[in-house]
Structure 1
Amino acid sequence: MTLAGKLAQEWRSQLQTDLPGQANAHGAIVSWLLGENQEQFDTFSHTQLDIARQAMDYRYRILRDRYLNASPERAYRNLIQRLSGLFLLRNKIKTWISLSRDRQRTVVDVLQEVIQELMQQDSYLQQQTAWISQCTPDPRLRNALVLAATEEYCLRPIRNQPLLMYRFVNYLRRSQRGGMTQVPTADFIRLVSEEVNPDDADGSVSLLDGQAISEYQDAQAQAQQQEIREAVVDNLAAYLDEKVGPEASEWLKLYLQGKTQETIAEALNMPIKQVYRLREKVSYHAIKVFATKKQPELVAEWLGG
């Protein structure tokens, strides 16, 4: 049996456990996860195969958690909600809207246009859509697979930023008019100085708002820091779930929401003494083990008190 055949067998076994009532969809999901070029697995090294397994598992969890059992309308809303939840991207879109002529538009409006343009013009998503149409004739399942593939693709990290961020920048370059982002190649460009000297004023007037620039830069720095914090929280929660138990990751989420130990005890249906012991375990694992490798100052700040 080829390696692709073994992987397919493993996935069918998992789908039978996870989705026993959707046997008709198992074959299509397996084909989608393995991809169109299944012979490539036989050429993979051990490390490459591990990465491929992790990628398939990641895509499957996206499909299962947000799209597979949802109606087409609900599934699309899930995609928009997931992508609009990217803190840095949302701030960039808001900033652009505030500086544009059409300030009635919302973040969701702009995001939908970016995603629509991406799905219509991006060669990878077009290839994925074509492959998915070969995997299943079921329109509802095809829709779920396309949305899952779109989310995974948009969130791929490129230089520590999601790919969708760069697609938004490209969208701005194509959509804006009258600015340096879209310059007619046949026309002359008039370069404007930062300052002008109006005829009816004594001094020069700056065309750049220094305070606005400073506030924007501060907002960008805060947004990047917030994304780092969110990533650390997610990694720490996953670590605690694996090493201590699911109640530890739940304790962390409630603690970071500002809940008291008594409130956490009620939420977890756990004696208060056990909650305090759980806090000690979380603090030990987080500060002594996890924080030695990832953002120790943030973890110490959260759990040091």
Structure 2
Amino acid sequence: MAKDLEIAQKWLERLQTDYPDASRTTHEGVVRWSVGENSDRLNQLSDRALEIVLQSMEFRYSILQQRYLGVTPDTAYQNLIRRLGGLVLLRNKIRTWVALSRDRHRSVINVVQEIVQELLNSDRYLQQQMAWISQCTRNERLRNSLLLASVEEYCLRPIRNQPLLVYRFLNYLRRSGRGGLTQFPTKDLIRLVSAEVGTPEREDSINLVDAQTLTQYEDRQAWEERQVLRLKVQQEFETYLEENVDPIAAKWLRLYLQGYTQEAIASTLEIPISKIYRLREKVGYHAIRVFALKQSPDLVSNWLETSLKDHCLGLTPTLWEQYRQSLDPQQREILDGFRSGRSVEAIARELDLKPSQVMTEWSKLYLGAHSLRNET
């Protein structure tokens, strides 16, 4: 059996198990949406690439299950806006903009709704998704659920360690504010660029559409790889919390990543809200100071793109230089030693320190860069 047919059959069996009361057409519609429009591509993928695609499908299905499938359209839409509005980085940016604008009566929810509506009206990817979903099923309610799940997954895609929705918000500001894309300069010339740009000799041309298609494909591949890393980090961190902290901490993490508020988590786990807040602080401490720093540093840094060797701890070149200048000579030597790939023992011998002292200093360096990155 071909890979695409085998995968589709497994998803159909899973849908029948998860939702035994749903109709056959509902099961098939969700399966078609999960597998994607060009199912033949699955037959041509390597085992590694296929694993990434399957993880991506799993991620999209989990979003659909948690907030959109089997609920009313109004509830599903509210779940989407609440989920997107709960992004801390986006919420802070919107609140700052509202505070500085003339429209101070607007709320975060209002702005998120406008951005989502603008995406549905103009974003090419979401319009392609709407066209594909209309082919997956004729059930309007199911179409609505599949579309909202697609919107959430698309808006949460990480671009340079920030959700894609944050960049769409910045585009929204440029269009809605003066001097944005909707206003043309009155004195400057406007240059129109065609799909092809000729070389000076005009014997050849560079097709911008082909370059754009290639870039979109590479971005999609990179996103799928990040999703695999994200799920792996989540699973390993949950296991770490269960074994080293408290099984309840792992349950808190799962609910938190699903978009539950602290109050909702307290109600679900039947735990006092004060204990939930202490649990959040404990999970945050272990996430940064133990799991990311000592338990699985390579896994976390590859996912966040904050490795010392390749990404300078996630700092821009300017911040990296400022950060280095703020260190004393011994700290710089330790930092350079880790960046060059030397072991803790080798660095300790060179600086006449104990390995534990080197690790203590490295912890300070890592947390210092983490704080600087978050401040900016």
Say whether the fold is shared (TM-score over 0.5): yes
Q: CA separation in 2, counterparts of 1:59 and 1:254?
A: 21
Query: Match of 1:106, as an amino acid?
Result: S
2:236 aligned partner: 239
Deviation at 1:184, TM superposition (A): 3.0
Q: CA separation in 2, counterparts of 1:13 and 1:253?
A: 27
Q: Is the 8 A contact 1:12 1:26 kept in 2?
A: yes
Q: Is the 8 A contact 2:157 2:164 kept in 1?
A: yes
| Superposed CA offset, 1:283-305 (max 9, x none) | 9x84753467548959x99xxxx
| Superposed CA offset, 1:166-224 (max 9, x none) | 111111111112x4776531147xxxxxxxxxxxxxxxxxxxxxxxxxxxxxxxxxxxx
2:33 aligned partner: 32
Q: Is the 8 A contact 1:240 1:248 kept in 2?
A: no
The SS at the match of 2:246 is helix
2:354 aligned partner: none
Q: CA separation in 1, counterparts of 2:133 and 2:84?
A: 22
Cα gap change, 1:176 to 1:53, in 2 (>3 Å): same
1:191 aligned partner: none
Deviation at 1:23, TM superposition (A): 3.6
Deviation at 1:244, TM superposition (A): 6.8
Q: Is the 8 A contact 1:240 1:249 kept in 2?
A: no
| Superposed CA offset, 1:42-97 (max 9, x none) | 11111110110000000000001100011100000000010011111111111111
Q: Does 1:153 align with 2:154?
A: yes
| Superposed CA offset, 1:120-165 (max 9, x none) | 1111101111111111111110100000000000111111111111
Aligned residue pairs total 235
Q: Is the 8 A contact 1:93 1:110 kept in 2?
A: yes
Unaligned runs of 5+ in 1: 189-232, 257-265, 269-278
Q: CA separation in 2, counterparts of 1:245 and 1:18?
A: 26
Deviation at 1:251, TM superposition (A): 3.1
1:22 aligned partner: 22
2:12 aligned partner: 12
Query: Match of 1:248, as an amino acid?
Result: D
Q: CA separation in 1, counterparts of 2:101 and 2:87?
A: 21
Q: Does 1:289 align with 2:295?
A: yes
1:196-207 correspondence to structure 2 within 5 Å? none
Query: Match of 2:7, as an amino acid?
Result: L
Q: Is the 8 A contact 1:33 1:59 kept in 2?
A: yes
1:55 aligned partner: 56
Q: Is the 8 A contact 2:242 2:249 kept in 1?
A: no
Q: Choose the corresponding residue for 2:248, options 244, 247, 250.
A: 250
Q: CA separation in 1, counterparts of 2:180 and 2:38?
A: 42
Identity of aligned residues (%): 45
Moved over 4 A (4+): 179-183, 233-237, 243-247, 252-256, 285-288, 295-298
2:82 aligned partner: 81
Instruction: State the TM-score, normalized to the length of structure 1.
Output: 0.67
1:114-263 correspondence to structure 2 within 5 Å? 114-177=115-178, 179=179, 184-187=184-187, 238-242=235-239, 245=242, 248-251=246-249
Q: Is the 8 A contact 1:241 1:248 kept in 2?
A: no
Q: CA separation in 1, counterparts of 2:42 and 2:8?
A: 12
Deviation at 1:242, TM superposition (A): 3.8
Q: Bigger shift: 51-60 or 153-162?
A: 153-162
Query: Match of 2:61, as an amino acid?
Result: Y
Cα gap change, 1:237 to 1:31, in 2 (>3 Å): closer
Instruction: State the TM-score, normalized to the length of structure 2.
Output: 0.55
Cα gap change, 1:254 to 1:70, in 2 (>3 Å): closer
Q: CA separation in 2, counterparts of 1:121 and 1:180?
A: 16
Q: CA separation in 2, counterparts of 1:77 and 1:297?
A: 42
Query: Match of 1:3, as an amino acid?
Result: K
Q: Is the 8 A contact 1:237 1:252 kept in 2?
A: no
Query: Match of 2:236, as an amino acid?
Result: Y
Cα gap change, 1:187 to 1:104, in 2 (>3 Å): farther
